[in-house]
Structure 1
Amino acid sequence: MAIREDIIVVTTPYVPGYRVVKVLGIALGVTVRSRGLGGRLLAGLRSLVGGEITEFTELAEQARRQAVERMIKHAKELGANAIISFRLDSNEISEYMDEIIAYGTAVIIEPQQEVGRTVME
């Protein structure tokens, strides 16, 4: 569970200890990234010897972060204080471009109240 100061993001369809008060709809964040010529050449050379292609790893991490931030911004615009069922997906648009999509269900949640117990003596 990722808890920011203003929104909770979880991959589960619920937030432990909270109840969903209102479902607001899909929160979506998208970014499209191009793999530049220099990166492709370097990746091609590195693929000959094997190992991680760190330039593409860094690009992928940046793209994921940006897609998630855009999803959170969209959820806040909808009035949400949480996103449940969070997912990330990626698609190759062309040989040189990738699309990264972050999505989930924007909801309003509130803490569940505990039912008081009585002890019989």
Structure 2
Amino acid sequence: MIVVTTENVAGYRVSKTLGQVFGVVVRSRGIGGNLMAGLRSIVGGEIHEYTAMLEEARRHAVDRLVKNADAMGADAVIMMRFDSAEMAQTMSEIVAYGTAVKLEALN
């Protein structure tokens, strides 16, 4: 599955727009991770526990996006974007979204 943040895919043209597609992940760090992150925030710098959690959540959101696009019969997802939000001060929601399309190779 081709997933791009652009409107076009080099060497192809969009032959059919199938509609909006998305993948959603909600993650929460355990109490240990929150304690370590809290201690690191006092000192300053990157909080590696949260960085790793969000990187993994983005990968899972894209995997779910691709699964949903595949179920729609798409060849690609164009204009893919991420959105995120905090929920209940302990959870992060990551959404990957875009437009599922059918492609046709340019000759």
**Distance in structure 1 (CA, Å) of the matches to 2:88 and 2:101:** 34
TM-score (norm 2): 0.96
Structure 1 position 66 matched with structure 2 position 60: yes
Where in structure 1 do 4 or more consecutive aligned residues deviate above 2 Å?
none
Structure 1 position 41 matched with structure 2 position 35: yes
Shift of 1:40: 1.1
Structure 1 position 112 matched with structure 2 position 102: no
Amino acid at match of 2:75: N
Structure 1: where are the runs of 5+ without partners? 1-6, 114-121
Match of 1:29 in 2: 23
Aligned residues: 107
Superposed CA RMSD in Å reads 0.8
Match of 1:95 in 2: 89
**Distance in structure 1 (CA, Å) of the matches to 2:75 and 2:11:** 14
Query: Which structure would you say has the larger RCO, counting Cα contacts within 8 Å and 6 or more residues apart?
Result: 2
Do the aligned residues in 2 keep the contact of 1:11 with 1:87 (CA within 8 Å)? Answer: yes
Q: Which moved more, 1:65-74 or 1:89-98?
A: 89-98
TM-score (norm 1): 0.85
Q: What SS is found at the alignment partner of 1:71?
A: helix
**Distance in structure 2 (CA, Å) of the matches to 1:44 and 1:14:** 43
Bigger Rg, structure 1 or 2 = 1
Match of 1:116 in 2: none
**Distance in structure 2 (CA, Å) of the matches to 1:93 and 1:43:** 17
Identity among equivalent positions (%) equals 58
Structure 2: where are the runs of 5+ without partners? none
Amino acid at match of 2:68: H
